[in-house]
Structure 1
Amino acid sequence: MPRFAANLSFLYTELPFLERFAAAAEDGFRGVEYMFPYEYPAEQLVEQLQRHKLEQVLINSPAGDWNAGERGLACIAGREAEFAASIDKAIEYAHALKCPRIHVMAGLRPRVTESTETGAAALDEAIASWDDTYLKNIRVAAKKAETAGVQLLLEPICQHCMPRYYMDDPKLARNVIRKVRSENLKLQLDLFHIQQIWGDLTHMIKYQMEFNRLGHVQIAGVPDRHEPDIGEVNYDWLFRVLDETGYDGWVGCEYNPVRGAVPNGTHDGLGWMRKWL
């Protein structure tokens, strides 16, 4: 049976952030995740988790300057020291929150245009530089994670949602995991993104489970990112597939609610989940 975690960056946004923990617990969630904990003292978040008997299941590594459009640092040459410090900060929070998983934000590819002046060779050189920087940074992060006893996750994100995001293909994630060779490095399989990048969700789940690469799962309706029972994906089927493969991790609910009596209301849209609790 799936274990659902409420993503508090997406659910209960009708409430102030620190009030979302109580709302999630009241609706039957036993785990929570959210994008970034860093604007709050860890002790304040721990107090909410303990008060409402919730488990922190996932956080993201710092993204750089989110408001300026940054979406991670891992693929950006020249900022390796900043990336390493961001992983240290994520690990510090993960330990405080007793959170076993950190999703490493990859960053955006720089804007490079192929022109008659630069040519295809220059573009190929730029792409190779991103690949080299990303791989070196993930190796550094994986060593830190091994020492700290936490798991690092790579999440392919579709270009519809985050244009120019570096980690946009499960094949790329698989190749990085294979090259780094760390037991602490796994795949974060957001089925909303994977459906739009790759499709073939049943075989994707089975393949990753067969090679022990699957570290975390997230869900949302496709294509509009609303409740999981809205859209083209049959999640009841996929939950059974997860059970059949032996996946015993969390399923993060990372969607934008559209049902409910108030704008972005969450509670009234949870009928899809209650039959699984």
Structure 2
Amino acid sequence: MRLLANTGFLFADLPFPERLAAASAAGFDGVEFHDEVQRHDASGIAAALDELGLTVGGLNIRMGDSFGCAALPGHEADFIADLTAAHAAAVAVGAGAIHVLAGRGAGDEAVFRANLRRALDATDRLILIEPICAEAVPGYHLSRLDHGLELADLFGPRVRVMFDWFHAATELGPQNAAEALARHTALIGHVQAASCPGRNEPEPEVLHRFADTGCTAAGLEYRPLITPADHLARLRAAGI
């Protein structure tokens, strides 16, 4: 399984461009981004990735204080601008997926669905939607896994759920989260790993669950307690 360093969480003490070299030195196969590329020289980031031999799994649309705005009424123009910037960044660095964040606040489902349709028309990238549990981000519009799965089923294969173990296990409990992962594999486009409840280094069992469902890559999005290189070595020793 290819393991991707989420640069929004890992190596956070380093300036963004330096996180790429740190991920390579630690032994990661690739990276995934929050919205850092949109705030840097994308061509320079692409050149660094090429030199380091790192691939990019995906990146987020602009997050801001509201964690995106796709479901927030009155922000349609902001959403289009954010999507345009995310698409350009994804093309520049070779990211195959864009995570469209719904936003927190007075969200509206009709607005969210209309913006997802706009996203499908505006980019050729896979659109990921991530259910983010209420404990982590209170008021986030897409807080339940079943809601995300419903939308993925409705919109078809270019909209898929980003299944984050921390959020799913917090919402449903570990056993129910594992069962949902196995049951709905076809609607899941990407997986991320962190422990629950601490959101620290994920145990190898979590990655084995992903591999058992056919996942070939996983993003590691956690708050490190040990160096990412040491944790990655432990995962590899466990057969990941």
Q: Check conservation: 1:35, 1:60, Cα contact below 8 A.
A: yes
**CA deviation digits over 1:206-227, x for unaligned, max 9?**
1121xx2111000111111111
Partner secondary structure for residue 189 of structure 1: strand
Partner of 2:183: 207
Map Cα deviations across residues 252-271 of structure 1 (whole Å, 9 max, x no partner).
01011112xxxxx4333434
Distance 1:266 1:12 in 2: 8
Structure 1 residue 185 and structure 2 residue 153: aligned? no
Evaluate the alpha carbon distance shift between residue 266 and residue 246 of structure 1 in structure 2; reply closer, same or farther with a 3 A threshold: closer
Residue by residue over 1:34-72, the C-alpha shift from the partner in whole angstroms, topping out at 9 and shown as x without a partner, is: 211211011111021011100011100112xx2xx2211
What does residue 120 of structure 1 align with? none
What's the counterpart of residue 262 of structure 1? Answer: none
Map 1:167-186 onto structure 2 (within 5 A): 167-179=142-154, 181-186=155-160
- The answer on 1:268 being equivalent to 2:223 is no
Q: C-alpha separation between the residues in 1 aligned to 2:70 and 2:214?
A: 31
TM-score (norm 2): 0.92
Whether the aligned pair in 2 keeps the contact of 1:142 and 1:182 (CA below 8 Å) is no
Match of 1:166 in 2: 141
Shift of 1:143: 2.4
Q: CA deviation at 1:108?
A: 0.7
Alpha-carbon distance between aligned partners in 2 of 1:197 and 1:244, rounded to the nearest angstrom: 22
Partner Cα distance (2:144, 2:225) in 1 = 28
Give, in angstroms, the shift of residue 201 of structure 1.
2.4
Q: How far did residue 171 of structure 1 move? A: 1.0
Deviation of the 1:33 alpha carbon: 0.8
Distance in 2, Cα, partners of 1:268 & 1:243: 21
CA positional deviation for 1:137:
1.0
1:15 and 1:268 map into 2 onto residues whose CA distance is 18
* Equivalence for 2:168: 194
> What TM-score does the superposition give when structure 1 sets the normalisation length?
0.80
8 Å Cα contact 1:258-1:269 kept in structure 2: no
Question: Structure 1 residue 244 and structure 2 residue 212: aligned?
Answer: yes
In the other structure, the counterpart of 2:192 is 218
- Cα-Cα RMSD: 1.7
C-alpha contact 1:220 1:255 (8 A) present in aligned 2: yes
Please name the residue that 1:97 is paired with.
93
Q: Give matches, 1:118-157, under 5 Å.
A: 130-145=108-123, 148=124, 150-157=125-132
1:23 positional shift: 1.6
- What is the rounded CA distance, in whole Å, between the counterparts of 1:84 and 1:50 in structure 2? 29
User: Which amino acid is 1:29 matched to?
Assistant: F
**Aligned length in residues:** 236
Q: CA deviation at 1:85?
A: 2.2
Counterpart position of 1:45: 45
Measured in 2, the distance between the counterparts of 1:189 and 1:175 equals 14
Q: CA deviation at 1:133?
A: 0.9
Percent sequence identity is 29
**Structure with greater Cα Rg:** 1
| Alignment equivalent of 2:223, drawn from 256, 265, 272 | 256
